[in-house]
């Protein structure tokens, strides 16, 4: 069984409001129960009387198979086993496909002020939508220093020491038609197997330029210059150019990665010096990254050219 970190929670009230579920049992206070696990439980084993190694914090979903099995259960078994589905940690029960609520299940739920909900959704659709919703709501979060943009459809996080010109580079990219997500601070989330970033509410739409101050990106460049969120596909680290450092000139060095919430994000180190057009460098780095994602590697191409040249000159 996977281990979950219980740092966040979602109330049943939030879930009911989002999915517009019908509440069959329990009063308004019953909706204050909450879940901390981005998963569900189909209680086949529990209805058979087996409860060991069950994660009690999952929402219980009763579909067609469970409903048909309940019809075969004796009343004594129902009175014995239904209360086990409604302990203090179980958040709620959801019945799919607008099926009828079994009478004994209703009585047990009412006596415990336990929320039993109903939806018209098919069981598979409910499970998919509910797990996706919970995964996003309960996903691990962190805050990073940097500037997040969408460049040519690629989520790019610019990082580097203070004074490296990250915000100025972002301004140039915005002027060129690219999209700002967040400046200075980026809130990141681990959703499914990817990392997504968005701006803290207090910084949304703002860009700090030294010597000018805070500018409102939407008012200066229009609504299309901003977006609420993007997946982070690439990290570009801006570093001061150092003549003593041997930088990659072909592109055949081992790939670098930045670890964000346990996900490894491809990383490019971009040395910055006077006279280098950082906007063009970032755009070129993103284009080259996209080509590599599609299977074209310039370093392989140059090696092949040298190989062919060596064979011809033998």
Question: Which pLDDT belongs to residue 272?
Answer: 85
- In whole angstroms, what is the distance from residue 13 CA to residue 117 CA? 11
- In whole angstroms, what is the distance from residue 195 CA to residue 189 CA? 6
Question: Which pLDDT belongs to residue 87?
Answer: 83
Question: Which pLDDT belongs to residue 46?
Answer: 87
Let me know the angle formed at the C-alpha of 113 by 99 and 2, rounded to the nearest 5 degrees: 75
- In whole angstroms, what is the distance from residue 147 CA to residue 132 CA? 27
Q: SS3 of 89, please?
A: coil
Do residues 96 and 62 touch, judged by C-beta distance below 8 A?
yes
In the chain, the DSSP E strands lie at 10-11, 22-23, 34-35, 40-41, 59-62, 93-95, 116-118, 141-145, 147-151, 154-160, 179-182, 185-191, 194-198, 206-209, 213-216, 229-231, 234-240, 256-260, 263-272
- In whole angstroms, what is the distance from residue 307 CA to residue 314 CA? 11
Question: Which pLDDT belongs to residue 3?
Answer: 44
Flag residues of the chain having pLDDT under 70: 1-7, 51-56, 243-254, 275, 297-314
Two structure tokens written together for 168: 């100025």
Two structure tokens written together for 25: 């049992």
Question: Which pLDDT belongs to residue 1?
Answer: 36
Question: Which pLDDT belongs to residue 306?
Answer: 56
Is the dihedral angle over the CA atoms 131, 137, 140, 142 positive or is it negative? positive
Chain segment 184-231, per-residue pLDDT in tens: 999 999 988 899 999 999 999 999 988 899 999 999 999 999 999 999
Pairing of strands 116-118, 93-95: parallel
Question: Which pLDDT belongs to residue 54?
Answer: 60
Strand order across the 256-260 sheet: 179-182, 147-151, 154-160, 234-240, 263-272, 256-260
Whole-prediction pTM value? 0.73
């Amino acid at each position: 069984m996977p281990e979950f970190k219980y740092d966040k929670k979602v109330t049943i009230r939030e879930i009911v409001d989002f999915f517009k579920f019908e509440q069959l049992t329990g009063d308004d206070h019953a909706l204050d129960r909450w879940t901390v696990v981005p998963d569900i439980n189909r209680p086949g084993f529990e209805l058979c009387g087996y409860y060991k190694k069950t994660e009690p914090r999952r929402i219980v979903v009763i579909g067609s198979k469970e409903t048909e099995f309940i019809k075969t259960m004796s009343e004594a078994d129902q009175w014995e086993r239904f209360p086990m589905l409604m302990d203090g940690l179980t958040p709620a029960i959801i019945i799919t496909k607008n099926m009828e609520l079994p009478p004994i299940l209703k009585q047990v739920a009412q006596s415990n002020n336990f929320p039993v909900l109903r939806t018209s959704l098919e069981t598979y659709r409910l499970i998919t939508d509910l797990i996706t919703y919970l995964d996003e709501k309960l996903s691990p979060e962190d805050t990073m220093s940097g500037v997040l943009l969408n460049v040519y459809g690629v989520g790019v996080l610019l990082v580097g020491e203070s004074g490296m010109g990250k915000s100025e580079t972002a301004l140039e990219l915005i002027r060129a038609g690219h999209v700002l997500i967040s400046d200075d601070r980026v809130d990141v989330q681990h959703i499914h197997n990817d990392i997504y970033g968005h701006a803290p509410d207090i910084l949304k739409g703002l860009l700090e330029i030294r010597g000018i101050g805070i500018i409102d990106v939407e008012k200066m460049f229009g609504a299309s210059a901003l977006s609420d969120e993007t997946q982070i596909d690439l990290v570009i680290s801006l570093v001061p150019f150092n003549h003593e450092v041997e930088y990659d000139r072909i592109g055949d060095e081992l790939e670098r990665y930045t670890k964000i919430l346990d996900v490894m994000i491809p990383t490019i180190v971009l040395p910055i010096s006077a006279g280098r057009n950082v906007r063009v460098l970032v755009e070129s780095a993103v284009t080259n990254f996209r080509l590599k994602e599609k299977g074209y590697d310039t370093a392989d191409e140059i090696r092949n050219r040298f190989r062919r040249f060596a064979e011809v000159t033998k």
